[in-house]
Structure 1
Amino acid sequence: MIKNILPPTAMALLLAGCVSAPEVRAPARQPTPAASFSPRPAPAVIRGLESVIGKDANAVKRLFGEPRLDIVEVYGRKLQFVGTPCILDAFLYPERKGGREIVTYVDARRSDGAAVDRAACIEALQRR
C-alpha cells in the first residue's frame, strides 16, 4: 500500500494559501442625525442682484414675466427666464421651515452656455 502523504511543511503551505487575509474595517463613524429640513442661510446680496435676491416668485415674475421653466423640487424651486441676451435661472428656497420661498441664488448664461455677468443679465431682462 502506497501512502500519499505530503511532508508537513508542504501541507502547511497549502493550507496557508486557503486562508484569507483578515478583514480591514474603516473606523466607526458617528451616526448622522436623520435627514431633516435645513433652511438656507440668508443670502448675501451682490451689487446688481438686489432686485432678485430675497424676492419671492411673484415679485420675480413681475420683473421678468412668466418663466420659461418653473421646476418644483422637494425643498425648492427653479424659475428660468429667457431673453435674447441671456438665460437667467433663479433658485428659490424657503426662508424657514414652512416659510415662503425666496430667491437665494441666480445663475446666468448665454444660449450657447457661456457664462455672463448675472447683474447684466438681470438688467437686460428687465429692459425687454
Structure 2
Amino acid sequence: MRKALVIGSTLLGAGCATAPPPAVPVAPPIISTSGLERVLGHDAHDLVALFGEPELDVREDQARKLQFVGPICVLDAYLYSKNGREPVVTYLDARQPDGRDIDRASCVAALIANKKR
C-alpha cells in the first residue's frame, strides 16, 4: 500500500509540473528596398553603366556576384538567372571598407556619386 502511495503521489506530482510555454513564431525581419530601385531587378550591363566596372565578377552556374568598391562602401550585387533569362540583381549586401554595416541605399547613392566625379 505504501509503495502504491509513493508511486501515485509521484505520478500526481509529475502531472502538476508546468509545461514550457508554446513557441511563438518570429516573423522574419522586414528588409527595406527603398532607394534600391535603380539596382534590384537590373542586369550586369545596367550596373556597369550605373557604377562603372566592378572590382570583382564571380560566376557560378546561374548565379553571378558583382562587387563595386568606393571610398565609402563596398556593394555586393547578387544576380540570378531564371528560365534561361539574363541574370538580374535579386539581393544586395553593403558594408563599409572596414567591414562595418552600412545602409544599402546609402551605399548605392555613394557609389553613384563617386562615379560622377
List alignment gaps of at least 5 residues for structure 1.
Answer: 1-43
- Which TM-score applies when normalising by structure 2? 0.69
Q: Which residue of 2 aligns with 1:97?
A: 83
1:125 aligns with 2:111: yes
Q: Which residue of 2 aligns with 1:46?
A: 33
Identity of aligned residues (%): 51
C-alpha RMSD of matched pairs (Å)? 1.4
| Deviation by residue 1:53-101 (Cα, 9 ceiling, x = unmatched) | 000000010000000000001120000000000000000001x221110
Q: For 1:107, which of 84, 88, 93 is the aligned residue?
A: 93
- Structure 1 stretches of 4+ with a deviation exceeding 4 A read none
> Secondary structure of 1:59's match?
helix
- Which TM-score applies when normalising by structure 1? 0.63
User: What is the total number of aligned residue pairs between the two structures?
Assistant: 84
Q: Which residue of 1 aligns with 2:74?
A: 87
| Deviation by residue 1:18-53 (Cα, 9 ceiling, x = unmatched) | xxxxxxxxxxxxxxxxxxxxxxxxxx9711010100
Q: Which of the pair is proportionally richer in helix? A: 2
Q: For 1:62, which of 31, 49, 52 is the aligned residue?
A: 49
List alignment gaps of at least 5 residues for structure 2.
Answer: 1-30
1:72 aligns with 2:62: no
